[in-house]
Each structure stands twice: as structure tokens, then as C-alpha cells.
């Protein structure tokens, strides 16, 4: 698939959005960007699911992007998360953000309306036609209610602006066959934190992992070991790390991650926007124990 776009690979972070007193916490955002700019992170995604994008208005999204771009201390691609079930609104969102300092988009399949495969194909074709930037598809049927099949995905992979997928299809056979059949230049990044090692061993290009807010270097090292041919070492490392996604998804994402980052001082508040709520006291205690090195799941 010929393309002029850079193909996403490695470890990408779907960045949480810090809030304080109902507003974007710009000081914490700058602190996070400075921190992750120095970590082995290959790209950042703003205002996606982990970033509570559904609760962020257009002005806040613009400010989020501006602050993040300004706070970067080195070259790192910034993608913006978009979602919605109205193709026309999606095209307008692409036009509205056309001059924002971002490098591409992560666009989720339409939610709730459950379109056909033909509808999914036409939806993403219309969006990709409406921008010069690269588009990654976000296939997560347990949130949207519709699964993009591999036949549709592979047809969309022929579009020069559609460069990959965040794969959360929750079907091991579908994921394997996509990795087997995809064209050159079409990136598959797993979005299933608990399946990171497995996806890499089957040929995934990396992952978009909320859990990598924590132990970022350890997640990146597993992929580095596999690329270096050390599968046994990567498995040992994964066994030592695999407890973390279980803990961080013990309650709805991103509440546990925000609580961890608050306890370690990277953000000032673990505040979320309704309908999301903070972690239970019991989970906050488990997170504190994990930070202290006393807890594994």
C-alpha cells in the first residue's frame, strides 16, 4: 500500500486528560507531557477513550492540543481521538481541526447505531477523503456495538490516508488473520493491554496501551526484547508485568490510572467527569500498596 504517511509502530500512549475543579489542569498536563517525552513512547493520543474525550468540548480539545504540543520536549507524533455516529459531523470535525498542531487521528467505529459493513466502509472512506492527515481506525465492538470485519478493514487499508488500526476486536482469530493478511504499510497496534505480549509475538507493530502510563519502560522493553530475538526474556519480563493491567482495569478506566498518577505526584488531582467516578477506597489502597512494591495481583 503506497503511502507518504509515517506508519505508527511501537508503544503509544492514550493520554489521560487531567482535570481540576471542573477545568483542564494545564499544569498537570504540562508535567505529564514533559515526563512522557523523556520515556520510550513512540506517540501520544489525546482526547480518546482514556482521555475522556466524550466529555471534552471543542474549545477544551483545542486547548488540550495546544498545551500538549507546546509542552513536548522532543519530536513525538500527536494524534487526536475522534468518535461519533454521524459521518457529516465527523467530516466537520476534521475540517475544524485541520490547522491544529496534530499529526493524525484515531477514529472509533460509529457507536450505538450499529451500521452494516457497507456503512462502516463508506463512513471511514468519507472521513479519510476529508483529511490529508493519516487516520487510524479504532475497532472496539464491546464499546461501540459493531465489529469491523477483516474484509472491510482490508478494503479500507487500500485508502492512502488509512494507515492502521487500534485492534480491540476481542476475537483472537480475527486479530491473527488480520495480522496475516494485512498489506505492507498497514499498522496493527493492539489496544488490549493484557494481550500486549501475545499480540507482539503474532506480529503486531506495537500497542496503544493505557497501562503504559505506569511502568512505561517495562512495556517498551518487552517489545525491544522481541525485536532483538529474545522471546524467552520477553516472556519473563511480561510475566513480571502482567499483573499491572489487571490492577489498572479493576474498575472503569481511566479512574485507576488517574489515582496512581495522583498518588505519585504526576498529576495534582484524580478528578474525572461524570458519568465516570473515582476509584473505590479499597482500590485506592491496593494502588498505594502496588506503588510501595508490596502488592501484585
Which residue out of 36, 79, 166, 197 is catalytically annotated? 166
DSSP string, the chain: ---SSPPP-EEEEE----EETTEE-HHHHHHHHHHHHTSS--EEEESSTTTTGGG--HHHHHHHHHHHHHH-SS---EEEEE--S-HHHHHHHHHHTTTSS--EEEEEPPPSS---HHHHHHHHHHHHHT-SS-EEEEE-HHHHS----HHHHHHHTTSTTEEEEEE----HHHHHHHHHHPPTT-EEEE--GGGHHHHHHTT--EEE-GGGGSSHHHHHHHHHHHHTT-HHHHHHHHHHHTHHHHHHTSSSTTHHHHHHHHHTTSSS--B--TT--PPPHHHHHHHHHHHTT----
89 is catalytic: no
Residue (of 250, 253, 260) closest to 214 by Cα position: 260
> With contact defined as beta carbons under 8 Å apart, do 279 and 287 qualify?
yes
Q: State yes or no: is 138 an active-site residue.
A: yes
CB atoms closer than 10 angstroms to residue 59: 9
Considering the candidates 36, 79, 105, 138, report the single residue annotated as catalytic.
138
14: exposed, middle or buried (C-beta count within 10 Å: 0-12, 13-18, 19+)? Answer: buried
- Catalytic residue annotation: 138, 166
Amino acid at each position: 500500500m503506497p503511502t507518504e504517511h509515517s506508519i505508527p509502530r511501537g508503544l503509544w500512549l492514550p493520554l489521560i486528560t487531567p482535570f481540576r475543579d471542573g477545568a483542564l489542569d494545564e499544569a498537570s498536563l504540562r508535567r505529564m507531557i514533559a515526563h512522557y517525552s523523556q520515556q520510550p513512547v513512540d506517540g501520544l493520543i489525546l482526547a480518546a477513550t482514556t482521555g475522556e474525550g466524550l466529555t471534552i468540548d471543542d474549545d477544551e480539545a483545542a486547548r488540550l492540543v495546544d498545551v500538549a504540543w507546546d509542552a513536548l520536549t522532543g519530536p513525538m507524533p500527536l494524534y487526536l481521538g475522534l468518535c461519533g455516529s454521524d459521518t457529516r459531523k465527523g467530516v466537520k470535525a476534521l475540517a475544524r481541526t485541520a490547522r491544529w498542531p496534530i499529526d493524525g487521528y484515531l477514529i472509533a467505529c460509529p457507536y450505538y447505531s450499529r451500521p452494516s459493513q457497507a456503512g462502516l466502509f463508506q463512513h471511514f472512506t468519507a472521513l479519510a477523503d476529508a483529511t490529508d492527515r493519516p487516520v487510524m481506525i479504532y475497532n472496539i465492538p464491546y464499546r461501540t456495538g459493531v465489529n469491523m470485519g477483516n474484509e472491510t478493514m482490508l478494503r479500507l487499508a487500500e485508502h492512502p490516508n488509512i494507515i492502521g488500526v487500534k485492534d480491540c476486536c476481542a476475537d483472537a482469530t480475527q486479530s491473527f488473520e488480520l495480522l496475516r493478511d494485512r498489506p505492507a504499510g498497514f499498522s496493527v497496534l493492539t489496544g488490549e493491554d493484557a494481550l500486549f505480549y501475545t499480540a507482539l509475538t503474532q506480529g503486531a507493530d506495537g500497542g496503544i496501551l493505557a497501562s503504559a502510563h505506569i511502568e512505561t519502560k517495562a512495556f517498551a522493553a518487552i517489545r525491544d526484547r522481541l525485536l532483538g530475538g529474545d522471546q524467552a526474556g520477553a516472556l519473563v519480563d511480561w510475566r513480571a508485568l502482567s499483573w499491572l493491567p489487571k490492577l489498572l482495569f479493576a474498575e472503569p478506566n481511566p479512574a485507576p490510572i488517574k489515582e496512581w498518577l495522583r498518588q505519585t505526584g504526576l498529576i495534582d488531582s484524580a478528578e474525572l467527569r461524570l458519568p465516570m467516578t473515582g476509584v473505590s477506597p479499597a482500590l485506592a489502597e491496593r494502588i498505594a500498596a502496588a506503588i510501595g512494591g508490596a502488592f501484585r495481583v
